């Protein structure tokens, strides 16, 4: 799996959009971009993933650049409960032949939502 680079920490005001960047300049053509988050002391939680098109679900939006070398996770209206460590992971999907070999977590970005 390709490696990712994320800022170690970010602040965002409550109610504003939180934009979390991720660089993945060595991503391969068949690797997806995944985002998970880990709220303090809990197990990680899946947020969203995408290949090359922008994606949106009830939690967040994922914007992937045209060259796929970077992406941004957007939490549109951040709340205090969004304070967590956010992990950007690139990998081949299991059912696309990537194999069930687990996720590779970096240190992520510690997002702090300020009241």
98 binds other proteins (CB under 8 A): yes
Strand, coil or helix: 96: helix
Closest among 88, 47, 43, 38 to 68, alpha carbons compared? 88
Question: Which of 20, 34, 62, 90 touches other proteins by CB under 8 A?
Answer: 34
32 binds other proteins (CB under 8 A): yes
Binding segment for other proteins (CB under 8 A), chosen from 21-29, 51-59, 74-82, 86-94, is 86-94
Closest among 54, 56, 59 to 84, alpha carbons compared? 59
Q: How far is CA 62 from the centre of its chain?
A: 8
81 binds other proteins (CB under 8 A): no
Return residues touching other proteins (CB under 8 A). 32, 34, 36, 41-46, 49, 87, 91, 93-95, 98-108
């Amino acid at each position: 799996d390709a490696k990712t680079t994320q800022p170690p920490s970010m602040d965002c005001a409550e109610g504003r959009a939180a934009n979390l960047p991720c660089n993945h300049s060595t991503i391969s053509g068949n690797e997806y971009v995944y985002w998970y988050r880990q709220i303090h002391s809990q197990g990680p939680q899946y947020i969203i993933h995408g290949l090359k098109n922008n994606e949106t679900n009830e939690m967040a939006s994922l914007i992937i650049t045209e060259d796929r070398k970077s992406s941004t996770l957007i939490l549109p209206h951040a709340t205090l409960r969004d304070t967590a460590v956010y992990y950007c992971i690139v990998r081949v999907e299991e059912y696309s032949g990537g194999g069930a070999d687990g996720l590779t977590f970096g240190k992520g970005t510690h997002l702090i939502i300020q009241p």
